[in-house]
Amino acid sequence: MSKWSFWQKDWLVGLLVALFFLAGARSDLIQSLERKAYDLGVLATSRTPSDKIAVIAIDDQSIANLGRWPWPREIHAKMIDILTAGHAKVIGYTVFFFEPQADAGLDYIYRIAELLRNSTLKKTSNPAQQAELAQLDALLREAATNLDNDQKLSDSIARANDVLLPIFFELGEPQGKPGHPLPDYVLRNSLPNVKDPGGSGEFPPPSRGVLSPIPLLGSKAMSIGHLNSDPDVDGAVRTEPLVVSYYDQYYPSLSLMLAAKSLNLDLGDIQINLGTSVRLGKQIIATDPQLKMYTYFYKDKNGRPAFPVDSFYDVLSGKIPAEKYRDKIVLIGASAAGVGSLQVTPVSSAMPPAEILAHSVSSILQGDFFVSPNWAGWAQAGAFLLVAIYLTLLLPRLNAAIGSWVTAVLFIALLSTQFILMTAQALWLQLMLPAALLLVGHLLLTTKRFLVTEKGKRKSDAESAESNRMLGLAFQGQGQLDIAFDKFRKVQVDDSLMEVLYNLGLDFERKRQFNKAESVFKYMAEYNPKFRDLDARLAQTKAMSETVLLGAASGRSNASTLVLDNSGVSKPMLGRYEIEKELGKGAMGVVYLGKDPKIGRVVAIKTMALAQEFEASEVEEVKARFFREAETAGRLNHPNIVTMYDAGEEHDLAYIAMEFLKGRDLASRTKADNLLPLPKVLGIFSKVADALDYAHKQNVVHRDIKPANIMYDPETDTPKLTDFGIARITDSSKTKTGMVLGTPSFMSPEQLTGKKIDGASDLFSLGVSLYQMACGKLPFEGESMAQLMYRIANEQPTDILSIKPDLPQCLVAIINRSLAKRIEERYSSGAEMANDLRRCAASLQG
């Protein structure tokens, strides 16, 4: 027997496939398949949610009526008072109160009161003056009480004595010991009853940090529970971590505490059984080894949510009576766009956290959670072994027909077992791994048989005309037109295929790929040159493919951009401009060199293919914004701001014609080994600061200051600020809903948090650019986008002297002031920053 014949054995192929799947059992692909099967099982079941739960949503209507988020905490205090009057059983908040919310005037009240206490007026013996001082002191106390929203909320929580607040843990293995002890009001929520009856060695998710409510609120809460979610590999939430460990302490979830308090149970009534379950009173909640509960998600009925959801504003205004919530578990949380963080669940693609919490609490109270039994691992291993034995020993001995029937029966049995156990017993058995092994193994073995034993069959049996037609249509639907054309050419041309090819040619035309459209129409003409208007189409695409193709710069298209090499070809026009050549890719699209033939002006033309960059429903809105922002930028007239001459639209291609600049942008001079001389940098940035001062006085904010948007011509020593308004043209200024625009490394803290921004944000970004141009590094860096954004918003920049110690102190002071977190601590105007830059440059020369 030859070595080759040994490797051709069917049983060996089956064994190798089984080993391959066993190695990939924990891969994201297999786990995603398991989760999708789980979701189908959830959707196939029907259970009644608890009628003791109600949700009050901070929705768009509430934001519209009560103002921008975050609201003064006095509003939350009023809501708690209303629910207390309505005799709600417990109130669970999913809103985080991690920082104090002091009124701006409150600080002045405290300072006046302090001044009054230390004043010599206190020593007066005049009765009339003493009476006036007492009256003033009382007035200050009253003002402080009225302005202290945190105190109002604290008082309401204390009066209610039924409010539960969330904490948030930073999950991950702790390193060393905690930096500081937790507050008493957090410590008292640690679970005391922890047992490990089987010595499982399993523990709940660990954490190394915690964000807790401010003491004024947390100390008055009835209880505190964590609000950490645990998305699966596909990003969907299916489980609830009932317990999180913090070093040697264990803290319950908010859902567990809400369920406990609604049953009049305390922390002592909760028992943790490591690796298996959580006991709540007399009820045992079966979990996975990490104490995560498989939440049951209740389906909507008749288009209405499983749990009643009322608008925060309707309850606050009295439109919905508080009596509705008598003896209810009331959950309050955000669902408004830009306020709440919506998550994917088995029953919804966008569910607010408060509603997810409602499903978890109901699952606990009703006992509706799914269970992965202790014997599940053995059953799953047995199913996998059974399939592996079938593929290795039995399938190679069966003929094709019988083998297909047996495989089908086994596959249906696996899926049915998983489905029936979920729907009838609430048991989750993960059988997608053996099911996938069965299908793939059967396919590979039958394919191998075909290749080895049936080589004489025609290849067309594998690449049938119908399969290629369907594949071609599928690729065409996905926009992969070249592959679609390849597939269609493998199908014998007939009248029905001519219709398909004609539509493919039109798709190439829509993408401005006229040379490829010409190829399609030529191919059609070989079969029937009289088909429809094929003659006219062929002539038109031939002419267009020989002149110019203006296409998007987006990487989503493989469209050509510009062809002007053929002699005798007339130059293409875009609006009134002749297109000379392509210069490159810009922030919006392709950038061309153009010329106004009437006055001989050379311009740079930036384009945006609206139909390719935006959804059809957004095009009109974006188009209007495009010209509005172009008009705003066009009003700027400053020697250090690029001049915008014109804006227009041709078909689905919008464009802006602007001053053609010599030189290059400063992005190439930000590397440590290619920095400009420091006096030159100071001179450039003083002029850019002047330009920003001018723009800000015209009420125009750039929004995307960075070295790449500063052009510099060394021959004239002239910097020019480019792309004014581009950040808003490419996406609306939806800062009211929390959209983040611009380049993340250069963003200001207020821009990252989605606040309405002004010129101070540009000066912060200019400070970041100055920092990078001075030392070759960015002041804020992170291993991920989230870490970078957190550092910009909360941490001080890296000390620039630690990177380049020889920088002058005057420059360090300018950079530090421009990078201040608080707007009022930064430069008040670009002119002020420009003056400091010039003084610093003069000191260097002196």
Q: What share of the chain is helix, strand, coil (3-state, %, to 5)?
A: 50, 15, 35
Q: Measured at the alpha carbon of residue 758, what is the angle toward residues 825 and 615, in degrees to the nearest 5?
A: 140
**Phi then psi dihedrals of residue 272, to 5 deg:** -95, 125
Containing H/E element for 607? strand 601-609
CA–CA separation, 56 and 355 (whole Å)? 9
Amino acid residing at 806: D
Q: Packing angle between helix 514-525 and helix 481-488, nearest 10 degrees?
A: 10
Q: Which of 332, 291, 298 is nearest to 315 (CA)?
A: 332
* Residue 610 · residue 731 · CB < 8 Å: no
* Residue 343 · residue 353 · CB < 8 Å: yes
- Residue carrying structure tokens 């002191």: 137
**Phi then psi dihedrals of residue 206, to 5 deg:** -85, 160
Collapsing DSSP to helix, strand or coil, 515 comes out as helix
CA–CA separation, 760 and 828 (whole Å)? 7
Q: Measured at the alpha carbon of residue 694, what is the angle toward residues 691 and 699, in degrees to the nearest 5?
A: 125
Q: Which of 745, 753, 713, 754 is nearest to 819 (CA)?
A: 745
The DSSP secondary-structure symbol of 231 reads B
* Residue 589 · residue 608 · CB < 8 Å: yes
Q: Which of 311, 329, 328, 333 is nearest to 320 (CA)?
A: 311
Q: For the chain, what is the radius of gyration of the CA atoms? A: 34
- What is the bridge-based pairing of β-strands 710-713 and 664-665? antiparallel
The structure tokens listed for 483 are 């592959």
> Residues of 405-443 as b/e, b for ≥16 C-beta within 10 angstroms?
ebbeebbeebeeebbebbbeebbbbbbbbbbbbbeebbe
* Residue 287 · residue 242 · CB < 8 Å: yes
The structure tokens listed for 321 are 């009576």
The structure tokens listed for 161 are 């004595």
Collapsing DSSP to helix, strand or coil, 319 comes out as coil
* Residue 341 · residue 291 · CB < 8 Å: no
CA–CA separation, 706 and 722 (whole Å)? 10
The 3-state secondary structure of 242-261, one letter per residue: CEEEECCEEEEEHHHHHHHH
Q: Which residues touch 708 (CB under 8 Å, ≥6 apart)?
A: 665, 666, 667, 743
Active site residue 137: no
Q: Which of 38, 30, 26, 376 is nearest to 236 (CA)?
A: 38
CA–CA separation, 567 and 549 (whole Å)? 16
Collapsing DSSP to helix, strand or coil, 594 comes out as strand
The structure tokens listed for 21 are 């799947």
Cα separation of the two ends of the chain: 91
Q: Packing angle between helix 254-262 and helix 353-366, nearest 10 degrees?
A: 50
Q: By CB neighbour count within 10 A (0-12 exposed, 13-18 middle, 19+ buried), where does 113 fall? A: middle
DSSP conformation letters of 551-581 = ----TT---------STTPPPPEETTEEEEE
**Furthest C-alpha separation in the chain:** 121
**Which of 10, 59, 148, 704 is an active site residue?**
704
Q: Which residues are catalytically annotated?
A: 704
